[in-house]
Structures are given as C-alpha cells and as structure tokens.
Amino acid sequence: MLIRLQKLEKLTVECCNSLKEVFDFEGLGEDGHAELLPQLSELVLTQLPEFVQMWNKEPAGITVFQNLRSLQIIHCNRLVNLFSLSIARNLKQLRTLKIFKCEWMEMVITEDKKDQDEIVFPQLKCLILKHLPRLTCFSSASNNFEWPSLDTVRVKGIPKMKMFASGSQNTPELKTIYVTFLEKFWKGGLNSTIEDLSKRTEIHTPEILEKEDESYETRKNIQNSQVFHNEYGRSYQMTQELPNLLISTQGPSFHAESSTMKPRREIEEV
C-alpha cells in the first residue's frame, strides 16, 4: 500500500488500539534504493496505546520523510524513542515537532556510536515537548546539533530531563524557552536553560493541557482529511491520487470522500 500512496500529503493515525508500528518495510529496499511517501508533509499519530516503533525494520536503502514538515506524537504511551540518527538526517524539511503525553518516552533520537557527524535540522522552527514524565533528554548522542531556524521551544512536565542533549547545541535564533504562553526562561543556551528548568519543580506539576495540546492540535490538522473507520482491522485498496488519510478504529464503518479517490462503491477490499 505504501508504494501506491505516492501523492499522500497528510496522514493521521488515531485510536488504533493494537497498532504497534505504522510502516511495514519488510521486503522493501532489498533490490536497491526505494523512495516512499515522497509527498508526505504532515504526520499525526495519536492515542495509540500499543505503538512502540515507527517501522518494523530500520529503513536501510529506503528514503523516508524527505518532505515531512510537521510531526505530532500524542498519547502514545509505550513509545520509548522516536528516531535513529540516520533517520534524523532525512528530516531536512521538518519545521514543527510536537510530542505530548507519551509516558514511556525516554529520548527522541537514539545514539549511534559509529555516527559522530554533526546533525542539522535546517528548517525546524518549533519544538514542543510536554508531559513526558520519563524523558531524560532529546538525544543521548554526543553529536553536535545545528538548529539554524529554531526560534520556539516549549516544555512542560519533563521532570527527568536534566539536559537537552549530550553534544553542543547551536541555536542562533532561539532567545527563550516557554513553559506557559506567558512564562519563559533563558540561561544563554539550550542545554543550560533545560538544566536550570530541571531545578524548578513548579513547572513539572500536572495540570490540564492547554488548548494547543492533544485535542486542539490533532483536530485542526485533520479537517477535510479522508476518514477511514475500520473496526475490524481490514485494509482497503487506494489510488495514488489520495492526498489526505485518517486511519481510526473509533467508528464501526468505512468512510471516504474525495474527488481524488475512486467512488466508494469502486473501492475493493484486498
């Protein structure tokens, strides 16, 4: 199915209670380089209680997320980490990264001792990390990170995060870190500010999420998207023209509306 969705731009996966991984790369890239979901620009994963990894195998020889601009991970409580360093290098177009209420997450990017080269997020402007009680750092890798466009960082409810990352962090546009819309801190650098915030226990106390959290952020990104309600876990054949896709198990029926898709009666179960 991934190969068919070459024009998919927005993907939301929500409330799939047994889903452990989103992408199945088994058998892909074995005969040479493969490029998957080249137009995907927005990805939202929310309320996936068994979700533990993005894919079932490291995508060696497969280019992924090369045009991804926005990534939101919400209420994925079993997810421990998100990306390897090699995948992080693909995120050249990423502008927004938001991670909310993932109880088991310990770090966002894992380390690779064989990879000591600098990591650059050239387009990332907004990073939000909220209500991640086990998060110890953004990355344990000793690599230096470059963030030439980063100007907004919001953190809340990260009591175990004593540093941002092991390596140096170059953030020329970042002047403050927000813990609420009004309250902000800055100690001259990303690592030093996170270290200072870790000593301020008041910013880690539980509270009702602000409106930019789970419900608001998820819903505003799936308006006008395709809706696929699939109670029994069945799969459906889709055309290459599909621009937006929502996968959910909240409803008892399958529903899709788009001029870019085959009419509903023509969609065949596979």
Same domain, 256 and 214: no
Q: Which domain holds residue 176?
A: 69-221
Q: What is the pLDDT of residues 159-173, one digit of tens each?
A: 999 999 988 999 999
For residue 59, tell me if it sits in a domain. Answer: no
Same domain, 127 and 89: yes
In this model, does residue 227 exceed pLDDT 80? Answer: no
Q: What is the pLDDT of residues 54-75, one digit of tens each?
A: 887 776 667 888 999 999 999 9
For residue 63, tell me if it sits in a domain. Answer: no
For residue 64, tell me if it sits in a domain. Answer: no
Same domain, 18 and 137: no
Same domain, 213 and 235: no
- Pairing assessment for the beta strands 184-185 and 177-178 based on DSSP bridges: antiparallel
What's the rounded mean pLDDT across residues 122-133? 97
Distances (CA, A) of 172 to 99, 146, 149, 195, 205: 23, 9, 8, 19, 30
Same domain, 94 and 215: yes
Same domain, 76 and 204: yes
Domain count of the fold of the chain: 2
CA distance 112 to 158: 24
Residue 156's pLDDT is what? 92
For residue 234, tell me if it sits in a domain. Answer: yes
**pLDDT tier at 242, thresholds 50, 70, 90:** low
211 or 255: whose pLDDT is higher? 211
For residue 60, tell me if it sits in a domain. Answer: no
CA distance 168 to 187: 15
Same domain, 211 and 143: yes
